[in-house]
Structure 1
Amino acid sequence: MPTTDSPRAAVAPATAPPAGPVLAAGESARTVALPGLGLTVRSGPGGTDLEPALCVHGLGGSSQNWSALMAGLGGTVAAEALDLPGFGHSPPPDDGDYSIAGHARAVVRLLDHERRGPVHLFGNSMGGAVAVKVAAARPDLVRTLTLVSPALPELPPQRTAWPTGLASVPGLPQLYMRATRDWPIERRTAALLSLCYGDPGVVDARAREAAAVEYQRRLDLPYFWDVMIRSTRGIVNAYTLGGQYALWRQAERVLAPTLLVYGGRDQLVSVKTARRAARTFRDSRLLTIPESGHVAMMEHPDLVARAFRDLLHEIDHRAARDEAGRQYSPTSTAATGS
């Protein structure tokens, strides 16, 4: 598991965490209240007249994982990122559903409630699997899909990913917590950065300190471990689904133009999966960053932003070409002069 501490009571509080999220320059945040669900949504810099985008974080992450990328896309899209139920500053859902499908329903409910779709949908890791389900089930809500190291089934998983998967096994998280209970927060943070980044050295001392403070805040939440363990089980359970509900089958159904981003040093999602993903998604293009780890949008936000802008340029050019083809088709009124 990516975090460690002694277990707490698995009782969901009635309200969100008291402290608000730490915001980067130009960001704002709001809480969206839905029946049985409260979601914290972070808005990036940029005008609201731009096309909307929504970013979905991974296991143990939050909307803050997208701040660097949203800043880089400030003049391109009106980007927002949500804290999934139980993560970041969003309280646990009333129904306690932390499955991939449950998280996907939360995203769909948010988009339906705010009528922001179709959006440019981004997802990282677990959030990538969530985004795939949203795009497959509700193509009307998704204009493009950008997946950064999406958590799609990989059998067998690479060995460095085993500890995260084992967190779903009853009893093992408690053993791990006891074995690491004396770790200071700085050691926990360093371990997490080493797991997620291709080069943890890119995180400077100030950012590392801020990450440690946020890490401690999450550990102190009474529902932290319950959310982590149940969400991990949700990922593992999604990997075992067959038929039309299998994640790879869902990927085949995605109609939106898709950008796939993989890191050559990713310890959680093997870069070897990139080839299968590129073949599976109908309209895909692939960016592999050899030096990147699991969170390329944090480690290499400029490269990801550039690839996304290239995607927009490509689909705009395609739309213009198709429109020109329709106007000058030999069977059209304009071409025949009738």
Structure 2
Amino acid sequence: MADGIPPIDLTAKPPPGRHVELGTRWGPMRVHLRETPGPSPRAATAVHLHGLAGSSTNWTDLAGLLAGQLRSIALDLPGFGRSEPPPGFGFTRQANADVVISVLEQLDAAPVHLSGNSFGAAVAIEVAALRPDLIASLTLISPAMPDLRLDPRRLSDPRIAVAMLPVLGARTRRGLAAVTPAARAEQLVRLCFAEPDVVPSHRLAEAAAEFEECSRLPWSGPALGRTTTELIRSWLVPPARSLWRRLPEIAAPSLVVWGSEDRVVTVRKAPRTATLLPRGRLLVLPRTGHVAQMERPRVVARALLGLVQADSWW
């Protein structure tokens, strides 16, 4: 524990969740979150945002490692986990950012150390640019920067591409819906981890159980489809509206973490991402895929705490 980080407990269960009630421009909404206490009630707060097909449980190990110094709150973004989206919700990164900002305001814990993975990192960029007063530091883990490569290795199931088509898609979507939760969990692990065989069997079982739960929620499948569609649309907008333009607007000290073996969003985007952040630093992790906070939680925890503590960097 020389670095202030406790030994990792890979058997730890996700912390129990609770809902917070929000008034949004779409009407009332209940956002589900999971809290890992810090060393004291006065501890600074870290807030974590998951990626597509993810949830607040994606941060269990990292939050546990941060607990000696930070309180952690992991959100289920609208339509994911146990957060039901309100009627008319737009599923864009901007709409998600509005919800996150409302949560941060209600928590009354600002400024927070905000982190996000993949689509959650894109949302975090939007939050940090819009409300610098709420953000003490920003950690982006394989952020979903515009990446239009046509590569079947980016899909957990190659049939997903066909499922998007208007005529052939219906039958394919029925086939995808028939994939068991256990098989879906294994597909995603093999897509997102560089070394999927090191994932403990109980973590796979937890992921399968969560997919089983979400399959019974009527909003889950449509929300994933809509959020994915809106993300791809955001990659096609004119340069003036691109996510790249948001990065220079961020005032907070920032850390970009990327896995060298990320198949979902190429690590070649990492240097540009870090360079455009006015106070950005870059950490590329070898033998690591798209979800470094899950695959290399101890390394990410050390880097995030270094960002929090390293005032001398700036």
Q: Within the alignment, does 1:140 sit opposite 2:133 as a pair?
A: yes
Q: What is the deviation of 1:234? A: 1.4
Q: Within the alignment, does 1:117 sit opposite 2:110 as a pair?
A: yes
Q: What is the deviation of 1:243? A: 4.9
The 8 Å contact of residues 52 and 120 in structure 1, kept in 2 or not, is answered as yes
Q: 2:304 aligns with which of 308, 316, 322?
A: 308
Structure 1 residue aligned with 2:89: 96
Q: What is the deviation of 1:160? A: 2.3
Q: Secondary structure at the match of 2:231?
A: helix
Structure 2 residue aligned with 1:150: 143
Structure 2 residue aligned with 1:82: 75
For 2:177 and 2:15, the matched residues in 1 are separated by 35
Deviates more, 1:293-302 or 1:220-229: 220-229
For 1:120 and 1:78, the matched residues in 2 are separated by 10
Q: What is the deviation of 1:155? A: 3.9
For 2:242 and 2:72, the matched residues in 1 are separated by 29
The 8 Å contact of residues 162 and 172 in structure 2, kept in 1 or not, is answered as no
For 1:304 and 1:172, the matched residues in 2 are separated by 42
Q: What is the deviation of 1:168? A: 5.6
Q: Secondary structure at the match of 2:147?
A: coil
For 1:165 and 1:245, the matched residues in 2 are separated by 26
Structure 2: runs of 5 or more not aligned: 1-10
For 2:167 and 2:278, the matched residues in 1 are separated by 41
Q: Secondary structure at the match of 1:272?
A: helix
Structure 1 residue aligned with 2:101: 108
Q: Within the alignment, does 1:43 sit opposite 2:39 as a pair?
A: no
Q: 1:240 aligns with which of 221, 231, 236?
A: 236
Paired residues, what number? 296
The 8 Å contact of residues 14 and 60 in structure 2, kept in 1 or not, is answered as no
The verdict on how the C-alpha distance between 1:119 and 1:157 changes in structure 2, with shifts beyond 3 A counting, is: farther
Q: What is the deviation of 1:126? A: 0.3
Q: What is the deviation of 1:202? A: 1.5
Deviates more, 1:199-208 or 1:122-131: 199-208
Q: What is the deviation of 1:170? A: 4.5
Q: Secondary structure at the match of 1:38?
A: strand
Q: 1:282 aligns with which of 274, 278, 281?
A: 278
TM-score computed with the length of structure 1 as normaliser: 0.81
Q: What is the deviation of 1:311? A: 1.3
The verdict on how the C-alpha distance between 1:179 and 1:124 changes in structure 2, with shifts beyond 3 A counting, is: same
Structure 2 residue aligned with 1:31: 19
Paired letter, 1:37: M
The verdict on how the C-alpha distance between 1:25 and 1:169 changes in structure 2, with shifts beyond 3 A counting, is: same
The 8 Å contact of residues 140 and 255 in structure 2, kept in 1 or not, is answered as yes
> RMSD of aligned C-alpha atoms?
2.2
For 1:312 and 1:185, the matched residues in 2 are separated by 37
Structure 1 residue aligned with 2:255: 259
Structure 2 residue aligned with 1:268: 264
